[in-house]
Amino acid sequence: MQTRLRSALIGATAIAVAGAVHAADLTPKEQILTRQAGYSFMSWNMGKIKSNLEGNFSQPQVQAAAEAIAGIANSGMGALYGPGTDQDIDDVKTRVKPELFTNQEEVGEVARNFIEAADNMAEVAAFGDEAEVKKAFGELGESCKACHDKFRKD
Amino acid sequence: MQTRLRSALIGATAIAVAGAVHAADLTPKEQILTRQAGYSFMSWNMGKIKSNLEGNFSQPQVQAAAEAIAGIANSGMGALYGPGTDQDIDDVKTRVKPELFTNQEEVGEVARNFIEAADNMAEVAAFGDEAEVKKAFGELGESCKACHDKFRKD
């Protein structure tokens, strides 16, 4: 429980930190590409956890994947949604909906839930109980989907 | 010292784990795109640490960036260098040199050094002494460069 609280606090800090990141260092096009890189890399690691749950379960592999996801989730990706990143730029397409840039309250909520689920996944993976991993993985997937449903075009 | 040892062991495990990842789940083109996503995301986080060292130093931001890098570094990226990923595929270009696929011993060495430097960076960032962070960041940069010099085309 204490660990859960710690995670929630870290999550909250990560959100706060995001605003302080100097997005200005990256052009809008680079911001879109970088956020897509983060999601792609997390997706690969989600796939590894899924395939572990469907096949031979390797605790070290699941833990490594979960820590990569948690590291990316906590890196302050909010800074990659700066001005001008709400639309396609040249050949760089984005599926983000305009609502993401106007509905700060709901964005904050889905982001906090996602970071909390990613932190929980990493904690559970460190112990390696397969049933617990499955539960945490399901919750993490739900937190991804919640954001996709609200803020990503089909 | 004990923590350093733990990191080294985790690093060694990560290398071992890499071989067990089912790269077969991704096509060669997806493997190239996914490894490039990992490097792009690490590069963004390296840039954040650099800008913290050059400007106002924010320990939470540096720690978050360092943990993202360490998470990605330990995720078993070796699995993204499967058969067929040694050359451009359609519009997906790769700068990898053929030597990466034949010189396993040297690849293992640069990979281990990189993971160790990334783990050290994350540990040092958690304490947040700016001089120590600067030193760890320099070492991490050197470990990136060592691989680029040997295994990446200009």
- Please check the confidence at residue B7 and state whether its pLDDT lies above 50: no
Which amino acid is present at A50?
A: K
Q: Which residues of A touch B22 (CB under 8 A)?
A: 48, 51
Contact between A80 and A34 (Cβ < 8 Å): yes
Contact between B65 and B49 (Cβ < 8 Å): yes
DSSP symbols for B91-141: TB---B-GGGGT-HHHHHHHHHHHHHHHHHHHHHHHHT-HHHHHHHHHHHH
How many CB atoms neighbour CB B8 within 10 A?
15
Which amino acid is present at A32?
A: I
Closest CA of chain A from B103, distance in Å: 25
Q: Which residues of B touch A40 (CB under 8 A)?
A: 33-34, 37
Is A40–B25 a contact, with Cβ atoms under 8 angstroms apart?
no
In Å, what is the CA distance from B104 to each residue of A58, B16, B67, B78, B84?
Answer: 24, 13, 27, 11, 16
Is B26–A44 a contact, with Cβ atoms under 8 angstroms apart?
yes
Contact between B42 and B72 (Cβ < 8 Å): yes
pTM: 0.86
Question: Shortest CA distance to B86 belongs to which of B143, B154, B151?
Answer: B151
pLDDT tens-digit series, residues A98-150: 999 999 999 999 999 999 999 999 999 999 999 999 999 999 999 999 999 99
Question: Shortest CA distance to A19 belongs to which of A107, A100, A82?
Answer: A82
Burial of A26 (0-12, 13-18, 19+ CB in 10 A): buried
Q: pLDDT-derived band of residue B12, with 50, 70 and 90 as boundaries?
A: very low
How does DSSP classify residue B84? T
**Interhelix angle B130-151/B28-54, nearest 10 degrees:** 150
The whole-number average pLDDT for the span B116-139 is 97
- Collapsing DSSP to helix, strand or coil, B78 comes out as helix
User: Which B residues in the span 22-61 are in contact with A, Cβ-Cβ below 8 Å?
Assistant: 22, 25-26, 33-34, 36-38, 40-41, 44-45, 47-48, 51, 58, 60-61
Closest CA of chain B from A54, distance in Å: 12
Q: pLDDT-derived band of residue B47, with 50, 70 and 90 as boundaries?
A: very high
pLDDT tens-digit series, residues A66-105: 999 999 999 999 999 999 999 999 999 999 999 999 999 9
- Please check the confidence at residue A8 and state whether its pLDDT lies above 50: no
pLDDT tens-digit series, residues B13-44: 444 444 444 444 899 999 999 999 999 999 99
Question: Which distant-in-sequence residues (6+ apart) come within 8 Å of A11 by Cβ?
Answer: A74, A112, A115, A116, A119
- Please check the confidence at residue A13 and state whether its pLDDT lies above 60: no
Q: What is the pLDDT of residue B154?
A: 80
- Please check the confidence at residue A7 and state whether its pLDDT lies above 80: no
